[in-house]
Chains A and B, each alone.
Chain A
Amino acid sequence: MKATARWRTAILLGVVLVLAMVVAACGDDAGEATTTTQAATTTGAGTTEPDLTGSGVVLVPDVGGALAEAYEQAYWAPFEAATGIDVVLVPGEFDAAVVLGQVLAGAPSYDIGQPNASTYQLYLDNDAMESIDFSLWSPGVTDGWGPAPLTEYAMPNLYFAVTPAWSTEALGADAIGSWADLWDTETFPGMRALGPGSWGAGAATFEIALLADGVAPEDLYPIDYDRAFASLDRLMPNLVKFWESGAESIQLMTSGEASAVAAWNGRVYGAQQENAPVANTWNQAILQYDIWVILKGAPNAENAQKLLAFVSQPERQAAFAELITYSPGNQAAMSLLSPERAALMPTSPANSANAIVQNYGWWTSIAEGETDKTNEQVAIEKWTEWLAG
């Protein structure tokens, strides 16, 4: 009797000790994290899954809204559970220039950066990124990326498209079918709004103006500036403004200021989910993508490497695509989606059939007749000249 009691105490003590050690080792979320970590390693056993477990934090930009919720559910929460690394969302990343300034000063506020594809060139020029450590990636995951390439520094994280969109309240359920229709204010009355050309390739305004003027998709590049501005001049009397954010493009339609706009597909879908009377067409959609990079001098570069390795997996990428209508970067994920879901994706065969992939190669190359300016920089300067009148 006495012996059993002593044993029981010893076992209890042992359990308490082990628990205490675990708690001490893993910090606050110890209980949850350890159990799932064990689960992850046991399922991973047998294959050559790299070990992504770690400690500390990783700082990622908080993008806000529906996109942030999708990231949280598909990426951050599972990553925290699997690795024990905390994902800390840092607000205030609206400006790739601010982030570049921080990197150049040697103190980025983030580990992960998300320059758009053309700002990426400037990041490259300024040596602002760490190489991605593909040895941490699961075998085979580096295949199947496209149309945007997986590079030494950049992982394409989502695809989206600028589409012709309209207010169904103003124009009915079936209206705008192309960019030329958006220019046609006689058939489709009301005001218009486009993205700003001061973003260069960012809102695809130059391409849109040319497509509206009848330029064939294969003849878009090099951009014919005179023709693009002439096309914009025609629209000008019916143009409310050039919007400054994706949210504003929808706001202009729901407030009745514009009857048709150029808008990102995810924005239109999100507004439809909130019962806003808006619609869009995939015809002549201009396909764009965002990338994730690890910033040079990132305070938690090692954890950031693990984060990219984790989210690159097709299962995670597919989970992301279930939550929001942006295509994941890893196209292997598309086959994991149901046909209905895949049909909503910008890179699905049906939607991309008549879409135009924006030519970032041209945008980021040195402009003809210039020594150091890229086509995008020239375009922005020409845009401001045209705007200033």
Chain B
Amino acid sequence: MKPAVASATPTGDLVSLSRRARPDRRWLALVQLLAVLGFAFIWPLVNLVIDSFHVEGQWSFANYADQLSSSVFWKAIYRSFEAAAITTVACVLIGYPMAYAMVRLPRRVASVLLLVALVPFFTSILIRSYAWIAILGSNGLIARLLEFLGMADPPRLVFNKFGMLVGMIQLNLPLAVLPIYSVMRGLTRTSVKAAQSLGATPALAFWHVYRPATMAGVSAAASLIFVSTLGFFVTPSVLGGPGQYLIAQAISTRFSNLLDFGGAAAQAALLLVIVLLLVALLFRQFARSLSLPGAESAQGSAQRGGPLRRAWRRLRHRAESGENEGGELAFRLQRGFDAVLRVLGRLRTPALWTIWIFGFMLLVTPLLVVTIWAFNDGRFLSFPPEAYSFRWFGDYFSNDLWVGSTVLSLWVSAAAGLLSVVVGGLAAFGLVRGPARGRLPVTALAVSPMVIPPMVLGLGFFFIVAPWGLVGTPLGLIIPYVVLGLPTSVLVIASAFRNLDMRLERAAASLGARPLLVTRWVIIPALIPSLGAAFVFAFLAGFDDVVIAMFMSGATAATLPIRMFQDISLEVSPRTAVVAVLLFALAAAVVTARWGIGALMRVLRRSSRAERLI
């Protein structure tokens, strides 16, 4: 603890008394969230939904009846949910071990690996999809490798369900790694060590002590991935085959090709209702993950302690009274399972390595292809290129429009990301620590922007703000980007809040720290990894957006993704590849600089300490 806390108010002993006497106003932390969503999400959406009940000037359910009775709609819903489920499971299965391995590594190495995990976000969604075609296609890298290995007729890997899922999994893997990693970072390994000292093998200790404690991160990751996958439409339309017709494409067709705004809004509203019902039913775990045991009653928490401690207690409890708990059979099953775990545990190092290499390839190979394309001398994205040059780099830097758009996108997304983290962080506090009532609906609301296809959100928002002259201004982009960033911010920070040991805060408070000081010196430092992760996601949500910018950019605020999307859908030139490479280099430079500064600070501190000793 920093000395500033210890020397805080002298009336420390009164703090807890006076706080207990005051009414609980922690729900106030939700106000900002509700205000932002109310203005920039609910209002536009309600506006459109009202419109969807208007058919030819009269009130009508026709739009809804059409959809509900349409087999196309239900088939698209089914396909989308199936794809989302597979993607979610695959991402968690790959992402969990990756996060676990990262926690065991030194922080500096981990921060580099984190950057690797974020690789998919640095490339425009379209060129990333083209890169997958270069890898999975019939003349692609894998086909050539298989041919080299002597396989006569390699299977089709792209323009079908498989290719689509690969693209979706790559894009969502960071959404699995980051939340899980940030929860794991918050845990100490003492309980695991205790379990091992009592004779549990590492695998057993992991499964019974560590894993339960990390489930909050897993459920946050799973709900994020599931919901975000439902909104995908570029990936399936580029990498999927003719039959991969998902709900986002259905809405897009209704919007863009049929120009049926009411029908598109009806489909989006129905999708939202179905997803919210599903979240309420399937993700009860997720709702629970938001409730911190003891957040309501101070005593309960003190007794029950942090999640690790709880899990540890459960394990001890079972060891003591295992035989009576679930009967003979359950006990034997448990024993058998533990034996399997023990065997698996021996393989943990090679297994972790394999998964890391696999995940790493999945994340990085497309960027490698894109990097090679950036140095392509030709106009087309042929792989491998016939000639190499810096032609497209020169082209980018000599183009003021592109450089200007890059700068605009960077600062607009950063501002939106920052606001999302502030609003989302406060809301996460309100959700986890505030009253249990209203927790689920507010969470559902906070996550909803992820489910609503951006074209519907973009249209609704545009209709409201266009008369105010917000089109073509940075503010007109920042507001909707804050909305896009909120779901990840709220979920990621809430899951971290839940794992925060309240005893630390009480300890600080009992030593006399006022709430603000506690926030500054206890809560924020403990949340730093999650705040960072939330910022990165919120930043990228805006930085990767094309659709909302299509409405809001106007003549004066063209964002980088708009330029990239236009460039690649009209020309498929390597210029977009250059942008991807430059952005990644920028991110790498930031990480390296932080690393370098950290090292420098350590050296300075050591030398100043040495001086003092002298």
Which A residues have a C-beta under 8 Å from some C-beta of B? Answer: 59, 62-65, 67, 88, 90-92, 94-98, 100-102, 104-107, 109-110, 119, 122, 191, 198-200, 202, 236, 239-242, 244-248, 250-251, 254-257, 271, 274, 276, 372, 377, 380-381, 384-385, 387-389
Contact pattern, B 461-480, Cβ under 8 Å of A = 1, otherwise 0: 01100110001100000000
Task: Give bound CA distance, A368 to B113, whole Å.
Answer: 61
Contact check, B570 vs A247: say whether CB atoms are below 8 A apart.
yes
Residue of A nearest to B134 (CB): A255
**A107 contacts across to B, CB distance below 8 A:** 466-467, 471
Task: Give bound CA distance, A290 to B56, whole Å.
Answer: 29
Which residue of A65, A97, A98 is within 8 Å of B570 (Cβ)? Answer: A65
Contact check, A387 vs B467: say whether CB atoms are below 8 A apart.
no
Min CB–CB distance B394 → chain A (angstroms): 18
Task: Give bound CA distance, A67 to B566, whole Å.
Answer: 13
Min CB–CB distance B155 → chain A (angstroms): 14
Contact check, B259 vs A97: say whether CB atoms are below 8 A apart.
yes
**A274 contacts across to B, CB distance below 8 A:** 378-380
Residue of A nearest to B72 (CB): A388
Contact check, A109 vs B567: say whether CB atoms are below 8 A apart.
no
Which residue of B76, B134, B472 is within 8 Å of A109 (Cβ)? Answer: B472
**A97 contacts across to B, CB distance below 8 A:** 255-257, 259, 261, 455
Contact check, B558 vs A200: say whether CB atoms are below 8 A apart.
no
**B241 contacts across to A, CB distance below 8 A:** 240-241
Residue of A nearest to B130 (CB): A251
Which residue of B137, B253, B260, B568 is within 8 Å of A255 (Cβ)? Answer: B137
**A63 contacts across to B, CB distance below 8 A:** 570
Task: Give bound CA distance, A199 to B240, whole Å.
Answer: 18
Min CB–CB distance B353 → chain A (angstroms): 33
Among all A-B residue pairs, the 6 with the closest Cβ atoms:
A107-B466, A64-B570, A256-B139, A105-B466, A247-B572, A109-B554
New A-B contacts (20) at CB < 8 Å, excluding given A64-B566, A384-B72: A64-B567, A92-B553, A92-B558, A94-B565, A95-B256, A97-B259, A101-B462, A105-B463, A106-B467, A109-B554, A122-B259, A241-B242, A242-B242, A244-B238, A246-B570, A255-B383, A381-B258, A385-B71, A385-B72, A387-B242
Task: Give bound CA distance, A244 to B244, whole Å.
Answer: 14
Within 8 A of A (CB), among B111-169: 130, 133-134, 137-139, 159
Task: Give bound CA distance, A255 to B136, whole Å.
Answer: 12
Contact check, B257 vs A91: say whether CB atoms are below 8 A apart.
no
Contact check, B245 vs A98: say whether CB atoms are below 8 A apart.
no
Min CB–CB distance A248 → chain B (angstroms): 7
- The verdict on B486 contacting chain A, using a C-beta distance below 8 Å, is no
Residue of B nearest to A246 (CB): B570
Task: Give bound CA distance, A215 to B72, whole Å.
Answer: 29
Contact check, B243 vs A95: say whether CB atoms are below 8 A apart.
no
Which residue of B253, B553, B571 is within 8 Å of A380 (Cβ)? Answer: B253
Contact check, B257 vs A92: say whether CB atoms are below 8 A apart.
no
Which residue of A92, A119, A246 is within 8 Å of B566 (Cβ)? Answer: A92
Contact A100/B137 with A109-B554, A241-B159, A247-B568 known, Cβ cut-off 8 Å: no
Residue of A nearest to B468 (CB): A107
Task: Give bound CA distance, A155 to B568, whole Å.
Answer: 28
Min CB–CB distance B121 → chain A (angstroms): 21
**B71 contacts across to A, CB distance below 8 A:** 385, 388
Residue of A nearest to B76 (CB): A388
Task: Give bound CA distance, A297 to B550, whole Å.
Answer: 18
Contact check, A250 vs B566: say whether CB atoms are below 8 A apart.
no
**B237 contacts across to A, CB distance below 8 A:** 244
Contact check, B137 vs A94: say whether CB atoms are below 8 A apart.
no
Task: Give bound CA distance, A256 to B382, whole Å.
Answer: 9
Contact check, A90 vs B130: say whether CB atoms are below 8 A apart.
no
Among B71, B242, B558, the one with the most A-chain Cβ atoms within 10 Å of its Cβ is: B242
Within 8 A of A (CB), among B364-422: 378-383
Contact check, A380 vs B462: say whether CB atoms are below 8 A apart.
no
Which residue of B137, B245, B569 is within 8 Å of A257 (Cβ)? Answer: B137
Contact pattern, B 550-587, Cβ under 8 Å of A = 1, otherwise 0: 11011100100011011111111000000000000000
Contact check, A387 vs B133: say whether CB atoms are below 8 A apart.
no
- The verdict on B426 contacting chain A, using a C-beta distance below 8 Å, is no
Task: Give bound CA distance, A119 to B256, whole Å.
Answer: 10
Please list 11 pairs of residues, one from A and one from B, whose beta carbons are closer than 8 Å in the complex, sorted by A's number. Answer: A64-B571, A97-B256, A97-B259, A109-B471, A110-B555, A191-B138, A244-B569, A255-B381, A384-B72, A387-B242, A388-B72
Contact A91/B566 with A105-B467, A244-B237, A380-B258 known, Cβ cut-off 8 Å: yes
**B380 contacts across to A, CB distance below 8 A:** 250-251, 254, 271, 274, 276
Residue of B nearest to A123 (CB): B259
Which residue of B255, B458, B572 is within 8 Å of A251 (Cβ)? Answer: B572
Contact pattern, B 292-323, Cβ under 8 Å of A = 1, otherwise 0: 00000000000000000000000000000000
Within 8 A of A (CB), among B216-248: 237-238, 240-243, 245
- The verdict on B287 contacting chain A, using a C-beta distance below 8 Å, is no
Contact check, A377 vs B466: say whether CB atoms are below 8 A apart.
no
**A380 contacts across to B, CB distance below 8 A:** 253, 257-258
Contact check, B466 vs A91: say whether CB atoms are below 8 A apart.
no
Task: Give bound CA distance, A88 to B554, whole Å.
Answer: 11
Which residue of A101, A248, A250 is within 8 Å of B261 (Cβ)? Answer: A101
Min CB–CB distance A385 → chain B (angstroms): 5
Residue of A nearest to B565 (CB): A94
Residue of A nearest to B459 (CB): A101
- The verdict on B549 contacting chain A, using a C-beta distance below 8 Å, is yes
Min CB–CB distance B558 → chain A (angstroms): 5
Within 8 A of A (CB), among B238-283: 238, 240-243, 245, 250, 253, 255-261
Task: Give bound CA distance, A67 to B569, whole Å.
Answer: 13
Task: Give bound CA distance, A247 to B571, whole Å.
Answer: 5
Contact check, B138 vs A256: say whether CB atoms are below 8 A apart.
yes
- The verdict on B284 contacting chain A, using a C-beta distance below 8 Å, is no
Which residue of B260, B382, B549, B551 is within 8 Å of A102 (Cβ)? Answer: B551
Min CB–CB distance B262 → chain A (angstroms): 12
Contact check, B558 vs A91: say whether CB atoms are below 8 A apart.
yes
Contact check, B134 vs A94: say whether CB atoms are below 8 A apart.
no
Task: Give bound CA distance, A372 to B260, whole Å.
Answer: 12
Task: Give bound CA distance, A64 to B71, whole Å.
Answer: 39
**B549 contacts across to A, CB distance below 8 A:** 92
**A95 contacts across to B, CB distance below 8 A:** 256, 550
**B159 contacts across to A, CB distance below 8 A:** 240-241, 257
Task: Give bound CA distance, A142 to B324, whole Å.
Answer: 95
Residue of B nearest to A198 (CB): B253
**A387 contacts across to B, CB distance below 8 A:** 242-243, 245
